[in-house]
């Protein structure tokens, strides 16, 4: 039996309402020690799922502390699957921590981060991928991220993984029957149909793996690096996209020394835009570290905006950036188009692919719509429809890759007529990897890692 946990479920600070939430067997009796009718009498009857208006009293002083609304969610029909009590108090920092203090004094203990959701998982209300979706939903910063999280929370991914698992289980049952009755073995027909089923499952697993890059972009946003020689207007562009003076801009080349990352929402998604030191040959010592960081940002970016200054002749530093960015996903941006042009665009096409070029003025804020459209179509490769199932977490990808490798081995064993024992071992490993995604087989350490990233009260 689990103990009673409690915490303030709403964010720190002052607000309209603060919710003190508790969960566990006996959480209602704890609440009823401090919750009374509006006139201060003990409450005789509480019904589940109904908001009850009343007052919180400190039993030691008989002082009224707040007027609140209490709701009891009776197990198993609650977020955690246990008895859950939510006290909605006035949203003051002191009053809510005072009420929490009373709940703790009368039998609860403070919840760890994510412990409510962890209990929901332990009690089978949700599986592990759905628990992860709760965290994703809370941190979602765009419609795309929100949609990805809600589909996962509603069990879209779990359903697919369960379906694949069950199909493997069916194959395994045939293989195990052959192990149990060796005189019969896997007859030709069953071996053939198992091979074809395993191939189909492997195909579906690899389709899911292929959704990772776009799924991750939906969840976390794409990372977009700004690159170019010093003074082309990288920081000005960052500020323009953010609509605030975030980065320092000066007329002196070499102003930005460190990387600076900010979130910008574009359409239904968001990007993490990274401004950094301009690349140039023969940098001063102090610039070298900045340039190392720029290269790192470009290496890790989903897209790099390669920026050129239209108002100054192209030089060896522009050549340097063209060379370095050669193989990377990029979008060419010509800045300072408000000033007289110093070179024809053809001059650039000899140095870098210029299929899509966007002309802007970061200073005058012109060309921004085209830039935003171009960034969007570079990072969002295909429009995912509402039905699409995709993965967005590295943990899921790794398990699917492992499952796929084990399926490969299973198929090789089956095709080369190896003994059924070998087939069963690899098939079991593949199934275990799928089960790990759902949290059916999972180490405490992994659970700690997942739930510790939650906020307290969730």
Ligand X SMILES: Nc1nc2c(ncn2[C@@H]2O[C@H](COP(=O)(O)OP(=O)(O)OP(=O)(O)O)[C@@H](O)[C@H]2O)c(=O)[nH]1
Residues that bind ligand X (CB under 6 A): 228, 230-236, 249-251, 253-256, 277-278, 335-336, 338-339, 361-363
Shortest reach from residue 368's CB to Mg ion, in Å: 18
Please identify, using beta-carbon distances, which residue of 55 and 312 lies nearer to ligand X. 312
CB 19 within 8 A of CB 87: yes
User: Binding residues for Mg ion, how many (CB under 5 A)?
Assistant: 4
Determine which helix (DSSP H) or strand (DSSP E) holds 84, and give its type and residue range: strand 84-90
Contacts 24+ apart (CB under 8 A), 376-379: 376/266, 376/267, 376/269, 378/303, 378/329, 378/331, 379/217, 379/222, 379/224, 379/269, 379/271, 379/302, 379/303
**147 contact, one of ligand X, Mg ion, none, CB 5-8 Å limit per kind:** none
Q: Which stretch binds Mg ion (CB under 5 A): 250-258, 314-322, 364-372, 389-397?
A: 250-258
Kindly state whether residue 294 participates in binding Mg ion, applying the rule CB under 5 A. no
* Min separation Cβ 335 and ligand X, Å: 5
Distance (Å) of CA 422 to CA 166, 179, 200, 264: 20, 10, 20, 52
Residue 128's nearest CA partner among 151, 158, 156 is 158
- Among residues 250, 372, 220, the alpha carbon closest in space to that of 305 is found at 372
Q: Which does 254 bind (CB under 5 to 8 A by kind): Mg ion, ligand X, none?
A: ligand X
Comparing CB distances to ligand X, the nearer of 13 and 251 is: 251
Interaction partner, residue 361 (Mg ion, ligand X, none; CB < 5-8 Å by kind) = ligand X
Using CA atoms, how far residue 439 sits from 78, 224, 433, 446, in Å, is: 20, 33, 10, 10
Beta-strand relationship, 84-90 and 109-110: unpaired
Give the residue with the Cβ less far from ligand X, 91 or 283.
Answer: 283
Q: What is d(CA 351, CA 343) in angstroms, rounded to the nearest whole number?
A: 13
| Shortest separation between residue 254's beta carbon and ligand X, angstroms | 5
Dihedral angle sign, alpha carbons of residues 348, 354, 359, 360: negative
- From Mg ion, ligand X, none, interface partner of 233 (C-beta below 5 to 8 A by class): ligand X
Smallest distance, ligand X to C-beta of residue 96, A = 45
The token pair at 343 is 């070179």
Is the Cβ of residue 236 or residue 269 nearer to Mg ion in the bound state? 236
Q: Is 167 helix (H, G, I), strand (E, B) or coil?
A: helix
Name the minimum Å distance from CB 333 to Mg ion.
Answer: 14
From residue 436, how far is each of 206, 303, 338, 342 by CA, in Å? 17, 32, 56, 59
Contact criterion met (CB below 8 Å) for 431 and 169: yes
Q: How far is the CB of 377 from ligand X (least distance, A)?
A: 23
Cβ distance to Mg ion smaller for residue 22 or 235: 235
Binding mask 132-161 for Mg ion (x = CB under 5 A): ------------------------------
Instruction: Name the minimum Å distance from CB 356 to ligand X.
Output: 19
Q: How far is the CB of 274 from ligand X (least distance, A)?
A: 12
Burial 418-430 (b: 16+ CB within 10 A, else e): eebebbbebbbbb
Among 256, 335, 404, 406, binds Mg ion (CB under 5 A): 256
Tell me the pairing of strands 357-359 and 330-335: parallel
When the beta carbons of 152 and 256 are compared against ligand X, the nearer one is 256
What is the Cα–Cα distance from 329 to 374, expressed in whole angstroms? 13
3-state secondary structure of 306: strand
Smaller CB separation from Mg ion, 235 or 436:
235
State the Cα–Cα distance between residues 115 and 129, nearest whole angstrom.
16
Cβ proximity to ligand X: between 22 and 335 the closer is: 335
Alpha-carbon distance 222 to 215, whole Å? Answer: 10
Q: How far is the CB of 239 from ligand X (least distance, A)?
A: 8
Residue 283 binds: one of Mg ion, ligand X, none (C-beta under 5 to 8 A by kind): none
The angle, 0 to 180 degrees and rounded to 10, between the axes of the packed helices 212-220 and 394-415 is 170
Contact code string over 202-241 relative to Mg ion, x by CB under 5 A: --------------------------------xx------
335 binds, among ligand X, Mg ion, none (CB under 5 to 8 A by kind): ligand X
- In terms of CB distance, is 136 or 309 closer to ligand X? 309
Nearer to ligand X, 215 or 228 (CB): 228
Using CB distances below 5 to 8 A depending on partner kind, what does residue 336 bind out of Mg ion, ligand X, none? ligand X
Kindly state the smallest distance separating residue 328's Cβ from ligand X, in Å.
18
Residues in touch with Mg ion (CB under 5 A): 234-235, 255-256
């Amino acid at each position: 039996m689990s103990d009673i946990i409690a915490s303030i479920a709403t964010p720190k600070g002052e607000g309209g309402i603060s919710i003190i939430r508790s969960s566990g067997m006996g959480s209602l009796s704890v609440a009823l020690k401090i919750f009374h009718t509006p006139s201060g009498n003990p409450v005789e009857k509480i019904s589940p799922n109904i908001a009850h208006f009343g007052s919180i009293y400190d039993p030691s002083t008989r002082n009224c502390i707040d007027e609140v609304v209490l709701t009891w969610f009776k197990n198993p029909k609650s977020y955690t699957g246990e008895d859950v009590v939510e006290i909605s108090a006035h949203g003051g920092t002191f009053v809510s921590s005072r009420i929490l203090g009373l709940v703790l004094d009368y039998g609860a203990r403070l919840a760890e981060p994510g412990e409510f959701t962890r209990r929901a998982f332990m009690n089978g209300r949700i599986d592990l991928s759905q628990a992860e979706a709760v965290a994703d939903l809370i941190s979602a910063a765009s419609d795309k991220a929100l949609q990805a999280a809600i589909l996962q929370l509603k069990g879209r991914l779990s359903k697919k993984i369960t379906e694949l698992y069950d199909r493997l289980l069916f194959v395994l049952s045939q293989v195990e029957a052959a192990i149990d009755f060796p005189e019969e073995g896997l007859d030709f027909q069953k071996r053939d149909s198992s091979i074809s089923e395993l191939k189909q499952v492997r195909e579906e697993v690899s389709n899911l793996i292929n959704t990772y890059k776009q799924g991750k972009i939906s969840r976390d946003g794409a990372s977009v690096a700004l690159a170019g020689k010093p003074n082309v207007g990288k920081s000005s562009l960052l500020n323009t996209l953010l609509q605030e003076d975030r980065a320092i801009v000066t007329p002196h080349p070499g102003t930005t020394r460190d990387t600076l990352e900010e979130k910008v929402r574009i359409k239904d998604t968001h990007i993490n835009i990274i401004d950094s030191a301009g690349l140039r040959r023969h940098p001063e010592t102090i610039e070298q570290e900045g340039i190392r960081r720029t290269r790192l940002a470009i290496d890790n970016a989903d897209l790099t905006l390669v920026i050129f200054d239209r108002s100054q002749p192209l030089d060896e530093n522009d050549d340097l950036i063209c060379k370095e960015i050669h193989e990377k996903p990029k979008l060419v941006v010509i800045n300072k188009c408000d000033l007289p042009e110093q070179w024809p665009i053809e001059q650039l096409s000899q140095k870098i692919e210029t299929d899509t070029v966007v002309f802007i003025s970061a200073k005058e804020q012109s060309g921004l719509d085209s830039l935003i459209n171009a960034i969007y179509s570079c990072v969002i490769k295909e429009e995912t429809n509402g039905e699409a199932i995709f993965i967005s977490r590295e943990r899921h990808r790794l398990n699917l890759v492992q499952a796929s490798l084990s399926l490969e081995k299973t198929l090789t064993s089956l095709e080369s007529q190896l003994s059924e024992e070998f087939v069963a071992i690899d098939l079991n490993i593949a199934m275990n990897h799928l089960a790990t995604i759902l949290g059916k087989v999972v180490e405490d350490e992994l659970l700690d890692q997942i739930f510790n990233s939650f906020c307290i009260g969730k």
